[in-house]
Amino acid sequence: MTTAERPPTVSAPPALPRIYIASPLTNLNDDQRRGLSCELKVVKIGIERLTVGDRIENDAWPVTVYAPFDHTAPWRNDGLGAGQVYERNLSELLDSDALIVLADRAASAGVGQEIEWAARIGLPILYLSSATTVSRQIQGTPAAITCVAYDGDSETLAAQVTNFLRQWRNRIQDGPRHRASRRLRFEPLTSRLRQAWEGATDRTGVAARCNLDVNLIQMTLVDPGRVAMLPVDAVTLLCAEFGVTLTRATSQLSVPATRALVLAADEEGWPDTAVEKLRLHGMAASALDPQLDLRTLDSWRQLYMQLPPG
């Protein structure tokens, strides 16, 4: 796995909530692949039916779906290297708001990794085992995880997907905001670490002293969402290595700055969604530039002009 093999692949998060569907992909025989394809269709149909299909009073809440089965399966001969597959799936999961696992009777190391990623960032997880029992270690995962053994029954499979989506609807719908917030909170730290890393003359030595792989550091500093997943010990070592101050990711706006934001929003008639974006952008900008003065209405108006569309 080399840095050259894995160019940055981060893109803007999708506007709609996203559900990531994980499943075993390696060493499947033809029957297993066909069976998994059928089960994946059942899950997708269940998602579609609940979110934009059968609904009361047009209460639709559309979502997008990402499944490695459709994109990075080994039988697709897409020319992707192992590092590229790893980074693609990590990026897609970090831009998702719930994880549904279709677990085959055989173990899958990749699925286990995806569960760990989801657990780290607090995604609700539905683990569906086609066997008659579920691994106790999976059941014991300290996360918002629901484990069900459906024993190959498609009706049970569909019902569990529906129940899961109903239970976690609010969090899934609010997922894009949480993703944006996490990236904004970690952007200042990521920017400082990335700048230091790019200027480092002994990257191999830095990685060794931090007990990290060079490629891991390179890949992680591409996206603040990835930095948010790093263990605290790793972040602390990197900051110490580069002399970067580890500021609190949860710092808040000052009272005068908050008051100015509220007044500007009232005068300009900004919607609540824009105000929340401004608040997060203001926090990130203040962390990057401690001298930034957000106590005036004009400062918030200028920041509003810098907001990305959508």
Instruction: Give 128-148 pLDDT, tens digit per residue.
Output: 998 888 888 999 999 999 999
Give kind and range of the element (H or E) at residue 240. Answer: helix 232-242
271 and 185 co-located in one domain: no
35 and 165 co-located in one domain: yes
111 and 215 co-located in one domain: no
Q: In what order do the strands lie in the sheet with 64-66?
A: 64-66, 18-22, 98-103, 125-129, 145-149
162 and 22 co-located in one domain: yes
Beta bridge partners of 103: 129
CA distance 207 to 11: 26
**Would 151 be classed as within a structural domain?**
yes
Name the more confident of 53 and 302.
Answer: 302
Evaluate if residue 193 carries a pLDDT over 70: yes
102 and 199 co-located in one domain: no
**Would 214 be classed as within a structural domain?**
yes
Evaluate if residue 245 carries a pLDDT over 80: yes
CA distance 124 to 174: 12
* Average confidence (pLDDT) over 193-201: 94
Q: Among 122, 141, 173, which residue terminates a domain?
A: 173
Q: Enter the pTM of the model.
A: 0.78
208 and 164 co-located in one domain: no
Number of Cβ within 10 Å of residue 149's Cβ equals 17
Evaluate if residue 60 carries a pLDDT over 90: no
Evaluate if residue 235 carries a pLDDT over 90: yes
Per the structure, how many domains does the chain have?
3
Q: Among 145, 173, 201, which residue terminates a domain?
A: 173
Nearest CA to 204 among 212, 196, 214? 214
Name the residue range of residue 43's domain. 18-173
DSSP one-letter code for 211: T
Could you tell me if 21 and 65 are in contact, meaning their C-beta atoms sit under 8 angstroms apart? yes
161 and 187 co-located in one domain: no
**3-class DSSP assignment, residue 66:** strand
**Would 221 be classed as within a structural domain?**
yes
